[in-house]
Amino acid sequence: MTAKTKIRQRADGTFEVERFTPFRRVEHLVVILTFVVLVLTGFPQKFFDYSWSAWLLKMFGGLDNARFIHRVSGLIFSFHLLAHIASIAIGTLSHKLSLSLLPTTRDFKDVFGTLRYYLEKNSTPPAYPKFDYRQKFEYIGIVLGGLVMVLTGLILLYPGIIAAILPGQFIAAAKVAHTSEAMLAFLVLAIWHVYGSHFSPEVFPMDTSIFTGYISKEELKHRHALEFARLFPDETK
């Protein structure tokens, strides 16, 4: 916890706390862009039997073009993932970064604490750290899932080279993994992320912190009490 957190005053006198550095905000935009393009060009290949697939492929100028776009955006996604992991490695080694998204034992306790609160066994939810377990699950999911997509994607892109190193059936297995992992990622995003960042009554219509980079002090106190206590020890009862 060596990183210094920026706190600034808004025009109306209230305070807001930095949650994402500009680099992370740009990363999120890159992920949005590549993810959407990858889904739009990849799913019609997975669901080739449906009429909407033919329509989508036509919009991209045919299967050959869609595949080219898919591969280019896949490579951008891959390089970004590498850059992301490298930035974390370098940041951690140089003590400029805290691993605030890495799951800890507290998060597992929080899962049960939250469920107990949902089931009215506890009167209050647990005090969450900077990122709660729901957000960490999604982050870890996209990093690990992203790694699966990158590795299997590379196998499918260069099957001839891969066959010299791995058994041939791994290519067929990579195809199953690539389309299944894509389905999983899409569903988690469409259900979990859209709920957590848009439709959850706590943030509706939208949690803007990933775009503005800042969260209001009030919201931080309510949703990430532990982080609030760390930043404002004097104001915590």
Partner 1 sequence: MIKTMLLLFLTIAIASVCWEAHGGTTQNAEAGACLDCHGQKGDSMRFQDGSKKEVFVNADEWAQSVHGNILTCTDCHRDISGVPHTPKKMQDARDFTLQQSNTCQRCHYAYFTRVLDSIHYEMLKSGLREAPTCVDCHGSHGIRSLKTPRLEVNNRCGSCHTDVFDTYKKSVHGKLAMAGNNDVPVCTDCHGAHAILNPNQTQFHLNSYQICAKCHADQEKMKRYGLNPNVLTTYLEDFHGASTKAYAAELRDPKKPIATCTDCHGIHDIVSFKGGIARANILKACQRCHAQVPATFTDAWLSHYQASIDKYPAVWIVKWAYRILIPLIILGLILHILLHLWRLGTRR
Binding site for partner 1 (CB under 8 A): 44-45, 48-49, 53-54, 57-58, 62-64, 115, 117-120, 134, 156, 159-160, 163-164, 166-173, 175-177, 180-181, 183-184, 187-188, 191-192, 195, 200-201
Instruction: Please name the residue that has the structure tokens 């089931």.
Output: 119
* Shortest Å, Cβ 146 to partner 1: 16
Is residue 80 within 8 Å of residue 142, measured between CB atoms? no
d(CA 207, CA 203): 5
The nearer residue to partner 1, 20 or 192, going by C-beta atoms, is 192
Would the CA dihedral through 110, 87, 208, 217 be positive or negative? positive
* Shortest Å, Cβ 99 to partner 1: 24
The nearer residue to partner 1, 39 or 231, going by C-beta atoms, is 39
* Shortest Å, Cβ 184 to partner 1: 5
The nearer residue to partner 1, 93 or 119, going by C-beta atoms, is 119
* Shortest Å, Cβ 96 to partner 1: 33
* Shortest Å, Cβ 120 to partner 1: 7
The nearer residue to partner 1, 49 or 234, going by C-beta atoms, is 49
d(CA 87, CA 23): 10
User: 22-46 and 63-93 are packed helices; what angle lies between their axes, rounded to 10 degrees?
Assistant: 150
Amino acid sitting at position 197? S
Is residue 209 within 8 Å of residue 24, measured between CB atoms? no
